[in-house]
Amino acid sequence: MKRRELLKAAGAGLASAVVAAPAIAQSTPPLRWRLTTSFPKNLDTLYGACEMFSKAVAELSDQKFQVQVFGPGEIVPAFQVFDAISNNTVEMGNSASYYYIGKDLAFAFGTAVPFGLNTRQMNAWLAYGGGLGLLNELHGTYNIHAIPFGNTTAQMGGWFRKEIKTLDDLKGLKFRVGGVAGQVLSRLGVVPQQIAPGDIFSALEKGAIDAAEWIGPHDDEKLGFIKVAPYYYYPGWWEGCANGFLYIPTAKWAELPKAYQQMVTTAAAQVAADLTAKYDARNAAAIKRLVAAGAQLRPFSVEILDASYKATNELFAEVAARNAMFKKLYDSMTAFRNEQYQWHQVCEATYDNYMIGKRGRI
């Protein structure tokens, strides 16, 4: 795609702010930056987003700004991307902020929290509900400037070796699960495991864990989970969406020429729009293939959902009482979510539910 075509694709508003090629050539220096990501190279979605971003920045800058992408372990391990950016070791990083809740539980709001926002609500909250400003207030304390980098859409509940029918079936279950969900599930007897994306399959195959969630049908099919765990549960109530970020050291961002800052923002917006569209398009086909291959689709019971919802609210109330930033983000997100669902109940949900009722089963 040519540079001018990229500008149009990213949106006229953003495109108009990017300076023309002759001005770029005169006012900006050649740059070579590295981008380290938490996500495996075999995922054309998440890793592919980084490659798309690199290409877009190069074309927008007439090849003057080059960003080389590195997978997990090539510069730092998957869960050390945040620290590599915070310490100014690498110029760019791509990760999920809820991987870093050990630093502050408030980071979960940058990706997803149990019973939180759906994809469209998340995008709206970040852009117009004050969410991004609050999150960058938090990221700034760690020397990081964060730019939204795409959303995986609502996620599945994961792959299980056995059926999970009641709360008792959760007790003692070793479950690879990301973010705050582990803390919620531990209250229900689950033993949560934090395992890097590239290591999930082997842990499940060897029996080190009993179940694992990742994202959804397209990525899960690529990672081969159906080979070792037949029961595929839904919904992933801990991730009604899952938002990723592009991380840049605050000082590096400030030093970046304004034209390059705009290119980075433009390219990230293009990548974000593409990633969500890609998941929507490819999950629909992948779920059919997985079912045909033997995946046993199962919904979480109302008993499990209600217990999880109750445990989530109890945990969040406790954390909000002692963590001011968590409370600010929680209050902001909750107010936004409640208002959005008032509107969705009137029109969006009514339309979707009617149309779903008009089609056949998978």
Going along the chain from its start, the domains and CATH numbers come out as 3-153+240-281 (3.40.190.170), 158-237+295-332 (3.40.190.10)
User: How is residue 74 written in tokens?
Assistant: 């090539």
User: How is residue 36 written in tokens?
Assistant: 């380290």
CA dihedral 21, 23, 24, 26 (to 10 degrees): 130
Contacts of 278 (CB under 8 A, 6+ apart): 45, 48
Question: Are the C-beta atoms of residues 55 and 89 closer than 8 Å to each other?
Answer: no
Q: What averages of pLDDT result for each successive group of 10 residues across the chain (362 residues)?
A: 45 42 65 97 97 98 98 97 98 97 97 98 98 98 98 98 96 95 97 92 96 97 96 98 98 97 98 97 97 98 98 98 98 98 95 89 58
Whether residue 22 is preceded by a cis peptide bond, meaning omega within 30 degrees of 0, is: no
Question: Are the C-beta atoms of residues 89 and 164 closer than 8 Å to each other?
Answer: no
- Give the chain's mean pLDDT: 93
User: How is residue 213 written in tokens?
Assistant: 């969630």
What are residue 308's DSSP bridge partners?
none
According to the model, what pLDDT value does residue 359 have?
83
Residues 139-175: b if buried by 16+ CB within 10 A, e if exposed = beebbbbbbbbbbbbbbbbbbbbeebeeeeebeebbb
Rounded Cα gap, residues 227 and 203, in angstroms: 13
Nearest to 111 by CA among 124, 130, 95, 127: 95
SS3 117: coil
Confidence (pTM)? 0.90
According to the model, what pLDDT value does residue 17 have?
41
According to the model, what pLDDT value does residue 362 have?
56
